[in-house]
Amino acid sequence: MEPQTLANVKQSLYGRSMDTHLAFFIHDHMPYWSTFKAFFRLMSWLGNSPIILLTIFTATLYFTLRGRLNKAHIMLLTGVIAFLSSTILKRIVHRPRPLLWEHLDKVGSFSFPSGHALVTTAVFGILAYFLGERFPLKRRLIYILTAILLFFIGFSRIYLGVHWPSDVLCGWLIGGGILYLMILWYRHGGIKRTLRIALGLIFLVFGIIGLIVPIIPGILLLIAAFFLIFSNRSFSDMLRKKKKELTPPLQ
């Protein structure tokens, strides 16, 4: 946008929104060198759906093979709830993307909340919590590094011009709320069998709907439904047995 035009836009928006002022402040004072662009594009890439889905499924499979079904269920359910929350809220709020700056990343949906901020906070957050349990002496370091990563992923969406600051802030808050509730659920014994199967059946119905009317992630819901319905101790033992059969013996 031309400097004179940008100045006119600033003048017309003056006093209207703290969100607008903060967005202009960030874009006016952040350098747009190629190194910075590459760094924040990398941070944004880490929050893309394929990366998050790969993280969810890899962690879920790992916990299942290790016989930690409670963690596997919580890990998968955290991801599903986070994705659904982001998708549903975007369609309810219908907030358009900022158009005052060049978009330095591809976007395909509405602006509020930031799906990158919401989903990564919940998914990377619960994974960090489980890692903290596994490595208690390094728990603080794990939490600090995760918080730094989440900050840069969220901030990258503002830097790249595809979100307002409030989109990212609310994404962090909603994702943090989901994370808090899932940790509480995990610490109180996790998902009981009856509820697990009930959730699986609900996900199955909505997954089929999502395939017909693509307003919700149908494939993700169907995968989650299958896992929640059929993943019990026998299922875990079967996978672990298959893994041992496929692993070549040490010479």
Digit-coded pLDDT (tens) for 141-170:
999 999 999 999 999 999 888 889 999 999
- Continuous H helices in 135-192: 139-159, 165-187
Which residue ranges make up each domain of the chain? 35-191, 192-236
Digit-coded pLDDT (tens) for 29-47:
777 778 888 999 999 999 9
Given a cut of 60, is residue 250 above it in pLDDT? Answer: no
Residue 72: strand, helix, or coil: helix
- In one-letter notation, the amino acid at residue 43 is M
Cα 62 from Cα 108, distance rounded (Å): 32
**Does residue 29 have an active-site annotation?**
no
CB within 8 A of 23, min separation 6: which ones? 98, 100, 158, 164, 165
Tokens of 3: 């400097």
The one catalytic residue among 27, 94, 103, 163: 163
**pLDDT value, residue 4:** 42
Q: Which pTM value belongs to this model?
A: 0.83
Tell me the chain's radius of gyration from C-alpha atoms: 21
Given a cut of 60, is residue 11 above it in pLDDT? Answer: no
CB within 8 A of 231, min separation 6: which ones? 64, 69, 72, 73, 196
The one catalytic residue among 27, 73, 94, 116: 116
Distances from the Cα of 225 to the Cα of 83, 112, 168, 196, angstroms: 15, 27, 30, 9
**Does residue 163 have an active-site annotation?**
yes
**pLDDT value, residue 237:** 54
Tokens of 128: 């960090």
- In one-letter notation, the amino acid at residue 245 is E
Tokens of 216: 């919700």
